[in-house]
Amino acid sequence: MKSKTGSIFNIQRFSVHDGPGIRTTVFFKGCPLSCWWCHNPECRSEFNIPQNNRYNKKFATGELLAEIKRDRIFYEESGGGVTFSGGEPLMQPAFLKTMLVLCKEEGLHTAVDTSGFGNQEDFRILAKNAELWLFDLKIMNSAEHLKYTGVGNKIILSNLELLLSEQVNLIIRIPLIPGITATSENIQKIVVFLSSFSHKPKVNLLPFHRIADGKYEKLGLQNKMLKTPGNSQKDSEKLKDIFLAGGFDCEINA
């Protein structure tokens, strides 16, 4: 399981919301989901032509590692590192594993931000190669998950079970989409699911915001969330309280 090149659509430096400390977030190209609220629609495969453009750049492993290492001083001073995000990094499992190994050899802290939708054997191999997993859990009802993301959640929940059983360093991240994921019923189901494991992960709630509206307009894509209001602090706090009542460490991200 080794790859020398991978497709990346963005590298964001000085990230502070994708794991501990100051981080470099590397956005992998491609995603098997089509979430209504996607903040990175430019990750989609239709923006692959030509092969090297602003939405899709091929990187050799050594070239990408050099880009990551440029900010080593900030990682060391803040306890940060590199986060592999997307899109969906599990769509390029061999390249992801190679980068995780190379970063570990350099003493760099690594995190993977994932939807959890990927080949289970690949996921099993990758599970212990990252020092932190940021797992985006959305909807517990599989039919609703299919409606709003384009895929069911069976594979996702199975891969999450693997991480929970292995007790790896894990943070559950839940996008609070009004009327879709941010309902008491859905949050209660997530609490019940997570409570069935001895390892209780930390939970981060991610309020919905409209920063991607301009991307949809620029790319000529339908924005299904155009008229969706943001979350009120009161409603977000109510959902947080459900996790706190279940004994989970839960925070609302900015």
Render pLDDT for 71-84 as a digit per residue (tens, 0 to 9). Answer: 999 999 999 999 99
Q: What is the pLDDT at residue 137?
A: 98
**Regions of the chain short of the pLDDT cut 50:** 49
End-to-end Cα, the chain, rounded Å: 37
Q: What is the pLDDT at residue 46?
A: 64
CA–CA distance, 130 with 150 (Å, rounded to integer): 27
Q: What is the pLDDT at residue 2?
A: 67
Q: What is the pLDDT at residue 51?
A: 55
Cβ-contact 27, 12 below 8 angstroms:
yes
CA–CA distance, 122 with 70 (Å, rounded to integer): 29
In this prediction the pTM is 0.93
Q: What is the pLDDT at residue 223?
A: 92
Give me the domains of the chain, ranges plus CATH numbers.
5-252 (3.20.20.70)
CA–CA distance, 92 with 5 (Å, rounded to integer): 10
